[in-house]
Chain A
């Protein structure tokens, strides 16, 4: 339904601080959805979210199988903790999730960032997190345009119709 908005969303600034598959993809879908609607998007990766923009890690994200109360087996039963601790269970579950996403035409993280940057979305890394995890600029994927402090992030998050989203 197209309704005339009095205060349309003009810009979104999305912060991604967690590195599990579901957290990163929530960020990427919000970001891509924004640029697909002509909304300006800035995405800021910090802490474990950095995994999504580190070249060697970005397409190998996992989901938690232990301590993830919302995780269910096919059939609806909750994933029992004792099943989750079996070696390989995390990798297998993460692989199954990726397969389901691929069926829905959801791309791997690197390709997703291609789509977002092609639409004008901007990707940033957090300086504090980079220092803490001892990453260097060379570790980051080429989609990242800058490494920012929190103050610099707030500066570019300003403007009318601008929203900050924490995923």
Chain B
């Protein structure tokens, strides 16, 4: 476990850069992590990040299928917002652990 400084605050992260304590997350920190991934966060990004954080705190396992049922955006838009590996990137930016799902 290591510590990184985001938005002037120290944050506990694991070796892959994922938050070990989701409660340390703030929106400003999210913007900084997103910049590391070359993503500029918009309203849509924040909407889906909020959905993912809510699902995580509700104890529901994350899957890419759940994005389609989120009512926030569809999966195609999700891939556009977080190009490449959307679930991995979005959870990193959202300050929640990397999903261990095959779907």
A interface residue numbers (CB < 8 A to B): 1-2, 29, 32-33, 35-38, 104-107, 111, 114-115, 118-120
The answer to whether B76 touches A36 (Cβ under 8 A) is no
Q: Smallest Cβ distance from A21 to chain B, in angstroms?
A: 15
Per-residue CB contact flags for chain B residues 81-103 toward chain A (1 = under 8 Å, else 0) read: 00111111000000000000111
Contact B76 A118, beta carbon cutoff 8 Å: yes
How far is A33 from B87 in the complex, measured between Cα atoms in Å?
A: 11
Nearest to A28 among chain B residues (CB) is: B103
Given known A1-B15, A38-B85, A118-B74, contact A33–B65 (CB-CB < 8 A): no
Q: Is there an interface contact between B16 and A115, defined as CB atoms closer than 8 Å?
A: no
Closest to A105 in B: B63
Q: Total contacts A to B, CB within 8 angstroms?
A: 49
Known: A37-B85, A38-B85. A104 touches B75 (CB 8 A): no
State the CA gap A32–B78 with chains docked (Å).
14
- Contacts A/B (CB < 8 Å), 12 sampled: A29-B102, A29-B103, A33-B102, A36-B85, A36-B86, A37-B88, A105-B61, A105-B66, A106-B65, A107-B103, A115-B65, A119-B75
Closest to B75 in A: A118
Question: Inside 8 A of B84's CB, which chain A residues have their CB?
Answer: 38
A115-B68, A119-B64 known; 13 other A-B pairs, CB under 8 Å?
A: A1-B15, A36-B85, A37-B85, A38-B83, A38-B84, A105-B61, A105-B66, A111-B68, A114-B75, A115-B65, A118-B79, A119-B75, A119-B79
Least distance between B19 CB and chain A CB atoms (Å): 15
Which residues between 7 and 27 of chain B lie within 8 Å of chain A, taking CB atoms? 15-16
Please determine whether A120 and B79 come into contact, CB atoms closer than 8 angstroms: yes
CA distance A104 to B75 in the complex (A): 18
Q: How far is A120 from B101 in the complex, measured between Cα atoms in Å?
A: 19
Chain B contacts for A35, CB-based, 8 A? 79
Contact B75 A32 (CB under 8 A): no
Point out the residues of chain A lying under 8 angstroms from B16, CB to CB.
Answer: 1-2
- Contacting residue for A115 out of B15, B75, B85, CB 8 A: B75
Contacts of B86 in A (CB 8 A): 36, 119
Distance A106 CA – B66 CA, assembled complex (angstroms): 10
Give B66 Cβ to nearest chain A Cβ, in Å.
7
Give the residue name and chain of the A residue nearest to B60 (CB). Answer: A105
A120 to B75, CA, bound (A): 11
